[in-house]
Structure 1
């Protein structure tokens, strides 16, 4: 009889079980574990590492592995080919800050107060410190935690809301969006070629921060991606050397407008500035994969990729592509909130495609279970995806709620998806989804209430072009009744947190590497 150790995962933590394997038979204790199978090792299993990749303003149709004919994304294509690719994966908001809040907390942004709109350099508010992030869940288990890239969940007085106050040991990045400041220094390679686009004026130049200290202002965008890649690589090497499990969160600036790219990517794609920016993101992902392989932890690392919201269609070819989906950024049509998503874990996740419903909300509870951590003692909106990822089983998620960028208690949900059906209670376009021929997308498409709601079959009509004829199909009445019941139950459970955006702006909070200088903001350069 051969005896090894069987590693079981639960919310109570990892446990070792004796697994007795005799020829083709094993004991039932080992077989009937959480996943319905036995993971047998020659020694004690290490907790898994997590790498969470989050693109910015990336559309459902922007990646090569999702059908774009000219995007150059060999490393993301490799993840998709060797991992699980999602076709029905959603963020929670068609805008940056609220979407990121939900990703890190497993809760709709309305609960944490990250609404309406997004945070700015001088915002008084930010992600409340009583919210529990993925990093804060993992740290008690000994995980090393790091964030690189775009934070956009607040800066606040004395760095109150920075990643280092939200569970991350290390942070290298920009505390908000890279267009929220004068970006006359935003260049592409070669250095004398300016990137297309303009940025906000009247506030400080964009800073690069290490932890809570400004290291460079304005940031040198040509060297930024290399700095991120080096930082992430060193973080992984150091964690492995210390035999410490790690959580690396990389919310990229790419492919948010205005796009930029350094020497390694500029001019290298067939898709112009957008394609170059996407390629630069893909190159960094390739460097991370190489590092995980070199350190020997690739088979013990779950890599998850998705994006914060759909494409900014007003930028036309420089704004991204929603593929077959309707509209884009700042709308609650699927083009604004259905995202590419890939889960990659060699030897654990089988290659494939899933049409099951899933969301950024589900990442926190999934990481919790895989790490053996404890769920936060708050109302969570995410569900555990472990069986979906490892067994490609049916998703525990049956519904998805759609709040607009300017969410209010008065209007509540704009839309709700139940199974393959999506009901729109309100529709509204946005200037950020203008320039397309679809009259439902631009800002001129004013807020409309729908009673009964517009009902779409997303399996037959993912473009949301053809509302189902309710009067001609009486069998759909049962569907509407179920949707209304789910909506009422959900909204009864929703307690809106105090809006952090409505706390206002204070220009003195804008980060300045020389805080005593004058005149501001132009003197904030170091």
Structure 2
């Protein structure tokens, strides 16, 4: 892997910043015309503003997750029909990562990788892809982003989707978050709050909370209220939207919501998942409305930050828990949720921290979910627990101190699929005809030149293929095995 994979001349980067600033000045997303980076957009040698003579206090941390949001579902990532002005503005005010990845291609494992900073396969709950019903959850004894930051003096809260285990054994408030308001499971009908199994799933702490309004707006209000409080210490807020996860219910579509609610109440509990999956509903336009509604909600939360005077020293990260679903747009990537092809794991990723990092920047450095855990712990002044070492790498040196981007492998494992990225190269294998194009075969892609993963380069680079395969197997040997079928 050469230096050119991560570096660009200062002059070329300055040109990219200028173009982004011009776009932002008229309210357009920076780099909106480019879903993938051009040479002039790529990462600079030291693209990020120095920490010298900047605000030195620890930041508030707002980590926002979309749910099943595809890589190109935002207009600043190239969506042809969805307009997301608030997220576009967030990107224009900070850094847009073109090669940001989720820790997994399904919900629960990615969330576990964020909360622990480790590969999902380090813990039993991470083997469920995703957690369903009363399966295993994230053990309360395991250190988390919240428990470690709380130990360092942060106020911690989670609003929205947890999906890392059910009551009574598992809960955000058992794993380091002082406050929780949201849903425990993987999906719910947006108005009735009925979830898989047919039970009601909206809680404050560990107590049911009745509110039959549209869910996205409810948690938007809660997040805004949390932000506007008179905080006496820095805070961490995990804001986990269910939008745009199925069922495909846009705000105001109460007729379809009522139809689904009736079905959920009518069918046996084991069939409720199929009702919520909503295979007989949805459309591109409904999906557009859902994503644009998510964008408006995020705009409201960011406005609360501005109104409260906290925006300057709040580090905001926006991402998705995995790639897109049925109506998502991920071009030019192949695959989607539940696959380790690029469309299943590459996700929109945006960072903003006005007091420390300049805006209008685009980075093509590969980063993934566990890196954010390591980064946030470092900037928050919290130390990882040596008994549960992190698999992510802190990006603080790269973002704040002008250091080179970290060079290491990104690793993914699912029960029937594997992938590893090193620089521009990606090793991949899928079993059981999951990917007919390369079923059971070790393949190698140059995902910089071929993000569509069409040209298998394994015959051209057999030594590299063997090296990456061995690297994947070395990590895998240290993880928990999947339960026997």
Structure 2 length as normaliser, TM-score? 0.78
The DSSP-based 3-state class of the residue aligned with 2:114 is helix
The DSSP-based 3-state class of the residue aligned with 2:440 is strand
Q: Note the alpha carbon deviations across 1:153-202, whole angstroms, 9 max, x for none.
A: 0113x2x21111111111111111224xxx49669xxxxxxxxxxx977x
Q: 1:47 to 1:482 in 2, by over 3 A?
A: same
Q: Note the alpha carbon deviations across 1:32-61, whole angstroms, 9 max, x for none.
A: xxx9955336xx843210000111111111
Aligned partners of 1:40, 1:79: CA distance in 2, in Å? 24
5+ residue gaps in structure 2? 1-47, 256-282
The DSSP-based 3-state class of the residue aligned with 2:98 is strand
Is residue 2:405 matched to residue 1:398?
no
Partner of 2:314: 301
Aligned partners of 1:312, 1:459: CA distance in 2, in Å? 23
Alignment equivalent of 1:227, drawn from 218, 223, 246: 218
Partner of 2:199: 205
The DSSP-based 3-state class of the residue aligned with 1:99 is helix
Alignment equivalent of 1:286, drawn from 299, 305, 308: 299
Q: Note the alpha carbon deviations across 1:44-98, whole angstroms, 9 max, x for none.
A: 8432100001111111111111000211211100011111111111112211111
Aligned partners of 2:332, 2:254: CA distance in 1, in Å? 27
Q: Note the alpha carbon deviations across 1:412-432, whole angstroms, 9 max, x for none.
A: x612212111112335665xx
Q: In the TM superposition, what are the counterparts of 1:494-509 in structure 2 within 5 Å? A: 494-496=478-480
5+ residue gaps in structure 1? 1-34, 188-198, 314-318, 431-439, 503-526
Aligned partners of 2:201, 2:251: CA distance in 1, in Å? 18
Alignment equivalent of 1:72, drawn from 73, 83, 86: 83
Q: Are the aligned partners of 1:427 and 1:448 in contact in 2 as well (CA < 8 Å)?
A: yes
Aligned partners of 2:191, 2:304: CA distance in 1, in Å? 31
Higher strand share: 1
Q: Are the aligned partners of 2:117 and 2:374 in contact in 1 as well (CA < 8 Å)?
A: yes
Q: In the TM superposition, what are the counterparts of 1:507-526 in structure 2 within 5 Å? A: none
The DSSP-based 3-state class of the residue aligned with 1:415 is strand
Q: Are the aligned partners of 1:221 and 1:261 in contact in 2 as well (CA < 8 Å)?
A: no
Deviation at 1:129, TM superposition (A): 1.8
Is residue 2:332 matched to residue 1:343?
no
Alignment equivalent of 1:382, drawn from 392, 395, 410: 392
Q: In the TM superposition, what are the counterparts of 1:47-86 in structure 2 within 5 Å? A: 47-86=58-97
Q: Are the aligned partners of 2:146 and 2:176 in contact in 1 as well (CA < 8 Å)?
A: yes
Q: Are the aligned partners of 1:62 and 1:323 in contact in 2 as well (CA < 8 Å)?
A: no
Partner of 1:243: 232
The DSSP-based 3-state class of the residue aligned with 2:99 is strand
Q: Note the alpha carbon deviations across 1:222-267, whole angstroms, 9 max, x for none.
A: 2x233212211221122xx23221111011100101122335999x
Deviation at 1:485, TM superposition (A): 3.8
Aligned partners of 2:110, 2:450: CA distance in 1, in Å? 25
Q: In the TM superposition, what are the counterparts of 1:67-466 in structure 2 within 5 Å? A: 67-113=78-124, 114-120=126-132, 122-156=133-167, 158=168, 160-179=169-188, 183=189, 203-216=197-210, 220-222=212-214, 224-238=215-229, 241-263=230-252, 272-313=285-326, 319-350=327-358, 351-377=360-386, 378-390=388-400, 393-404=403-414, 407=415, 414-427=418-431, 440=435, 445=436, 448-450=439-441, 453-466=442-455
Q: 1:265 to 1:248 in 2, by over 3 A?
A: farther
Aligned partners of 1:200, 1:300: CA distance in 2, in Å? 37
> Displaced runs of 4+ in structure 1, greater than 4 A?
35-38, 183-187, 263-266, 427-430
Q: Note the alpha carbon deviations across 1:383-413, whole angstroms, 9 max, x for none.
A: 0011333356532142111212xx2xxx7x6
The DSSP-based 3-state class of the residue aligned with 1:127 is coil
Aligned partners of 1:426, 1:380: CA distance in 2, in Å? 27
Aligned partners of 1:136, 1:300: CA distance in 2, in Å? 21
Bigger Cα Rg: 1
Partner of 1:32: none
Q: Note the alpha carbon deviations across 1:459-511, whole angstroms, 9 max, x for none.
A: 110000111261xx3xx23322431342243234x231787x99xxxxxxxxx
Deviation at 1:322, TM superposition (A): 1.8
The DSSP-based 3-state class of the residue aligned with 2:302 is helix
Q: Note the alpha carbon deviations across 1:437-467, whole angstroms, 9 max, x for none.
A: xxx4xxxx499322xx211111110000111
Partner of 1:514: none
Q: 1:334 to 1:429 in 2, by over 3 A?
A: farther
Q: Are the aligned partners of 1:111 and 1:497 in contact in 2 as well (CA < 8 Å)?
A: no
Q: 1:161 to 1:397 in 2, by over 3 A?
A: farther
Q: Are the aligned partners of 1:358 and 1:397 in contact in 2 as well (CA < 8 Å)?
A: no
Q: Are the aligned partners of 1:343 and 1:389 in contact in 2 as well (CA < 8 Å)?
A: no
Aligned residues: 408
